[in-house]
Amino acid sequence: MTSSASAQPPSPPAPATDAGALGERVGVAVGWGGGTVIKPPFSPAASPVIDAAMVRALELARAAGAAGEVPVGAVVLSLEGAVLAEAANAREAEHDPTAHAEIRALRAAGAALGDSHLDGCTLVVTLEPCTMCAGAIVLARVARLVLGAWEPRTGACGSVRDVVRDARANHQVEVRAGLRAQESQDLLTASFADRR
């Protein structure tokens, strides 16, 4: 359920500066999430490339919502910031419980690269990924996840659990949250209201 997604992180983020360059990596920190440093919300000014990807992801989410899906959209950027793939949630259209925007975008990005590993890539998604998608993000070795709204009920990137920054896995993902969170939240709220 996505009706209660929030623009607020579930736990206070560690103070850090926000350089925002594509491909930038941060050091591993011990503490909440067990993985990379939690950075403050990503501002549109920090990276116009990532912000443009989020704007596109929101467009995809809006279209999906109009088609009766839960409105979630995702875009995969290469290390250089090129759009490799984009997708929206298509569970209802495809009668596929795994057809989340992130899974569909990762599959398309792998096909575009000709590689099952998306080293150096950034996944931009309008809502905090679920456990399934977070697992796929780790398997794909995505370098960075930029999410819009937090999903406090099912989110697996810092809310309910933190799959992408689990220090026990052989890959950890840098997470930035809160980019255009209110726009994502507004889509979800409108979608939920339409269903009642």
Give the catalytic positions in this structure.
Answer: 102
The CA dihedral of 44, 152, 159, 118, to the nearest 10 degrees, is -60
Q: x/- binding map, residues 53-92, to Zn ion, per CB under 5 A?
A: ----------------------------------------
Q: x/- binding map, residues 116-135, to Zn ion, per CB under 5 A?
A: --------------x-xx--
Rounded to whole angstroms, the Cα distance separating 120 from 137 reads 12
- Per the listing, tokens 């925007």 go with 101
Q: x/- binding map, residues 5-44, to Zn ion, per CB under 5 A?
A: ----------------------------------------
- Binding of Zn ion by 165 (CB under 5 A): no
Identity of the residue, 22 or 75, whose beta carbon is nearer to Zn ion in the bound complex: 75
Nearest C-alpha neighbor of 61 from the set 180, 195, 196? 180
Size of the site for Zn ion (CB under 5 A): 4
The CA dihedral of 147, 141, 134, 2, to the nearest 10 degrees, is 30
Nearest C-alpha neighbor of 187 from the set 31, 42, 65? 65
- Positions in the binding site for Zn ion (CB under 5 A): 100, 130, 132-133
